[in-house]
Amino acid sequence: MKVFVTGGAGYIGSHVVKALGEKGHDVLVYDNLSTGNEWAVLHGRLVVADLADKLTLARVLDEYRPDAVMHFAASIVVHESVQSPVKYYLNNTACTLNLIEAMLETGTGRLIFSSTAAVYGIAEGSPIVQESAPLNPINPYGTSKMMNELVLRDTSAAYNDFRYVSLRYFNVAGANREGRIGQVYKNATHLITRALKTAKGELGGLEIYGTDYPTSDGTCIRDYIHVEDLANAHIAALDYLGAGGESNVFNCGYGHGSSVREVVAQAKKITGIDFNVSECGRREGDPPALVAGNEKIKSVLRWTPLYDDLGYIIKTAWDWEKKLA
C-alpha cells in the first residue's frame, strides 16, 4: 500500500515507517522536523512541510494519492500543555482538521490516528481502563486528542468512504533492537529517558513528581509499551482497514503497570549506576494510574506483543542512549 505518514521523522513515527518499509509498503513522510530528524526516516521519501500549510498539504496528498494515512504529528508534553494550551489546540486539533479536510478533498479514506491514554483522565475504580470508559481528560494534551477522536467519529459517520482506527497509546518507551533509531528529544520528559540521561551524567538528578498518590508505593503507575510492539500495532491496524474493517478505537498497552519507583530501580539495575534521585511535589495533569485494557486489540487486530518486559524496554533504551554519547 501507499502510506502517507505525518510526523514520520519523530520517535514513534520513525519506528512505524521502518516497519512499513520492511513490510514492502511505499511510504511518504510529511514532517516539519520541529522534533523529528531526517536521519530517522529509514524508508520512503521525506517532504519537509507543516500541517498548518493547507495548500502544501493538499498538493502533496493529491500528487501522492495514498491508500492510507498515518497521523503522528503532534505536541505531546502533558505539563507543557497545561502551561501553553493554545499551542496544543493549534498543533494537535487544528492541524488534524487540516489533514482530514485534505483527505476528503483528495478522496483518501483510511486514517490511523495516534491517540493517547490521556483521553481517559483519572480512571475510576480499577486503574485498568477499557476503550468503553468515559473520556474525561484532565489536561489540554488529552483534550486536544479527544477532540480529534470526536471529529473522526463524526466524519466517519458522515462519509461512507472514510474509515479510521484510533490507537490510544499508553507509555511508549524503548528503542529499535538494532540500535538504528530511538528517542532523541532536546528536553526529554519521559521518565525512562530522563532516568537514563541521569545515569549518563547528562542530567544532575532525576525528579520523582509526587510520592503521595493512592498507589502501592505512592508514585504514579503507568503501562509501559515497547515502541516496536506499538509499531506492529499500526501494521495490524493498516491490515485491518485494508481488509474492510470498520472505524474503531483500540488501547495500546500490556495490561499491567509499573510505578515510578519500580522504573527507577530497574534503570539503576540495568545501567549499574546508582544515580541521584530527588522527590518533588505532584505535577499538574498527572493521573495516579493508567493501565491498558488490551483484550480488544488482541482479539480484533490479532495483535500479539513480543517485548512485554520492563527490563528489556529499559535495556534497549539504554543501548540507544549509550550510542548517542
Is the pLDDT at 84 greater than 70? The verdict is yes
Residue 178 within a domain: no
Among left, alpha and beta (phi > 0; psi -120 to 50; other), residue 179 is: left
Q: According to the model, what pLDDT value does residue 230 have?
A: 98
Distance CA 145, CA 151 (A): 10
Residue-number span of the structural domain to which 287 is assigned: 191-222+255-324
Same domain, 32 and 56: yes
pLDDT at 305 over 70: yes
Does 243 lie in the same domain as 114?
yes
Give the residue numbers marked as catalytic: 141
Asked if the model's pLDDT at residue 205 lies above 70, the reply is: yes
Is 68 in the same domain as 203?
no
In a domain, 98, yes or no: yes
* Same domain, residue pair 98 and 236: yes
The domain total for the chain is 2
Mean of all residue pLDDT scores within the chain: 95
* 179 within domain boundaries: no
Is 300 within 8 Å of 250 (Cβ atoms)? yes
pLDDT at 125: 65
- Interval 253-291: pLDDT, tens: 999 999 999 999 999 999 999 999 999 999 876 888 889
Q: Tell me the pLDDT band of 239, cut-offs 50, 70 and 90.
A: very high
Residue 309 has, within 13 A of its CA and on its CB side, a CA count of 7
pLDDT at 188 over 90: no
Q: What is the pLDDT of residue 317?
A: 97
C-alpha pair distances (Å), 325 with each of 22, 184, 190, 195, 219: 28, 12, 18, 15, 30
What pLDDT score does 191 carry?
A: 94
Q: What is the pLDDT of residues 38-76, one digit of tens each?
A: 999 999 999 999 999 999 999 999 999 999 999 999 998
Whether residue 271 sits in one domain with residue 168: no
Whether the pLDDT of residue 5 is over 90: the answer is yes
Q: Which three cell numbers stand for residue 259?
A: 510505578
Same domain for 214 and 132?
Answer: no
Please report, for residues 34, 134, 173, 181, 255, the alpha-carbon distance to residue 122 in angstroms, rounded to integers and kept in the order given: 30, 10, 22, 33, 16
Rounded Cα–Cα distance for residues 249 and 228 (Å): 20
**Does residue 61 form part of some domain?**
yes
Q: Is residue 161 part of a domain?
A: yes
Give pLDDT, residue 133.
94
By the 8 A CB rule, do 3 and 69 touch? yes
* Angle, in degrees to the nearest 10, between helices 140-158 and 95-106: 20
- When comparing pLDDT for 128 and 162, which is higher? 162
CB atoms within 10 A of CB 71: 27
Each residue of 122-140: b (16+ CB within 10 Å) or e? ebeeebbbebebebebbbb
Contacts of 322 (CB under 8 A, 6+ apart): 200
Output the domain CATH number for residue 286: 3.90.25.10
pLDDT digits (tens, 9 = 90+) for 102-114: 999 999 999 999 9
Which pTM was predicted?
0.95
The reported pLDDT for the residue numbered 287 is 81
Whether residue 310 has pLDDT greater than 70: yes
Report the pLDDT value the prediction gives residue 257, as an integer from 0 to 100.
95
